Amino acid sequence: MFETKVAILVLEDLAVWQKLNVTAFLATGVAAAAPDAIGEFYEDALGRPHGRMLIQPMLIFAATSALLQRAFAQSIERGIDRAVYVRAMFATGNDADNRAVFKQEPAEQPDLVGLALRGLKKDVDKATKGAKLHP
């Protein structure tokens, strides 16, 4: 149905609250990079508006560090839109500090705990090959 696919990979050994936090932040990264993929406002039976959401499913995968690194490299190679979350971001409290700690990471191999991808299905499938849906 969609030409594109959205996949969020989260490091499998994080605490539950960290997995949820990383997933939420990465989902906003996908939405911000793809305003054309945001639907209309929802309206309830009384006509009250409710927030807009992405128009397509997001698949959430549990990933090892190695799989995150491979998917990251593939996303760069294939030009897939991505959002990243590195371990150091857990110690910050705001966006400016998040960006600063990310910039200090090794460019080719950041300490990823989460990665969101949105691109052509075949490219995202290639980048996430071997990943299992999060239980």
Q: What pTM was estimated for this model as a whole? A: 0.94
Which residue segment(s) compose the domain that 109 sits in? 4-133
pLDDT tens digits, 29-57: 999 999 999 999 999 999 999 999 999 99
d(CA 110, CA 107): 6
Share of residues in the chain with pLDDT > 90 (%): 97
CATH of the domain at 128: 3.40.1490.10
Number of domains the chain contains: 1
For 42-78, give one letter per residue: b (16+ CB within 10 A) or e: eeeeeeeeeeeeeebebbbbbbeeebbbbbbebbeee
pLDDT classification of 102: cutoffs 50, 70, 90: very high
pLDDT confidence band for 4 (50 / 70 / 90): very high
CB distance 117 to 81 below 8 Å: yes
Q: Mean pLDDT over all residues of the chain?
A: 96
What sign has the CA pseudo-torsion 60, 65, 66, 68? Answer: positive
Structure token digits, residue 72: 């990251």
Instruction: Tell me what the mean pLDDT of segment 107-132 comes to.
Output: 97
